[in-house]
Copies of this chain bind each other. A is one copy, B any other.
Amino acid sequence: MRRTPISDAPLGYRPLYLQVRESVLGRLIEGSWPPGALLPSEHQLASELGVSQGTVRKALDSLAAEHLLVRRQGRGTFVAEVEEGNIVFQFFRLTPDEGERNLPESKVTNISKVTADLAARRALELMPRTFIWRIERTRYVAERATILERIVISTERFPALDRLIPLPTKNLYALYAHRFGVRVGRVEERLKAVAASARDGRALGCAKGTPLLAIERIAYSIDGSRIEWRQSRCLTDAFHYYAELR
Contacts and interface: CB of A to CB of B under 8 A. Distances in A.
A189 interface: yes
Please classify how large the interface on chain A is, using the bins under 10, 10 to 19, 20 to 34, 35 or more.
20 to 34
A240 B245 CA distance: 16
Interface stretch (A35-43, A112-120, A130-138, A192-200): A192-200
Q: Summarize A's interface: helix, strand, loop or mixed.
A: strand
Contacts of A192: 213, 236, 239-241
A211 B189 contact: no
Given A192-B213, A193-B212, A211-B194, A66 B186 contact: no
Interface string A55-67: 0000000000011
A148 to B, nearest CB: 13
A243 interface: yes
A219 to B, nearest CB: 9
A191 interface: yes
Nearest to A191: B241
A193 B209 CA distance: 12
Interface string A206-232: 000111111010000000000000000
Q: Which of A193, A234, A241, A245 has the most B CB atoms < 10 Å from its CB? A: A193
Interface of A: 66-67, 90-91, 93, 95, 185-195, 209-214, 216, 234, 236, 239-246
7 contacts: A67-B246, A187-B246, A189-B242, A191-B242, A192-B236, A193-B214, A243-B243
